[in-house]
Amino acid sequence: MRAWVVRAGENGERERTALDEGLLLVGWDRLRMGDLADATTRDGIRAAVTAAYPEEGPYTVGNWAGQLHRFVHQIRPGDLVVLPARSGLVAVGRVTGDYEYRPEAADGMRHARRVDWLVTDVDRQSVQSDLLDSMGSLLTVFELSRFGAAERVAALSEGKPDPGRPDADEFAATLTEPTRHAQ
């Protein structure tokens, strides 16, 4: 099992729809070329992004293509997903479906995945600072992979507080152990 963050828009514009309809939604409104599932490689997605956003530079195009590739091909049913809400709360769900292209949907709502929202009101104060910092990335789609993140997100999905880093006690001991001098 893996854990991911999928944001619901720069200003939370897809948040309500995502939570109400059990969806993960990514924007990239100008990607109207259809189903990205047919773009089986990152380079294929990069070509679609380049065509839709010709004014963007290669770094931005590469970044967006990587995020879209993760959304379409790397996130799997059964994975956990975190949606940091504009309200300051966090929603945690389990992905239940593959990537879908929804041509009838409004701009910003066409690229989707089904999700079962397990909790939608996790207080950020119940999340340890290292995991909260990881969730703070500016990216739209990214994996939470450090410090036992998937297991910690699983605890949040059960309504429990973040148990913290699995190595926290060992790490803390190295910081607080007094220095021993040779006698």
Angle made by CA atoms 106, 108, 112, in degrees to the nearest 5: 95
Name the band, by pLDDT with cuts 50, 70 and 90, for residue 10: confident
Domain range summary for the chain, segments of one domain joined by +:
3-176
Q: What is the pLDDT of residue 136?
A: 85
Q: What is the pLDDT of residue 180?
A: 44
Q: How many residues are recorded in the chain? A: 183
Please check the confidence at residue 173 and state whether its pLDDT lies above 70. Answer: no
Amino acid code (one letter) for 8: A
Residue 70, SS3 per DSSP:
helix
Q: Does domain 3-176 have CATH number 1.10.287?
A: no
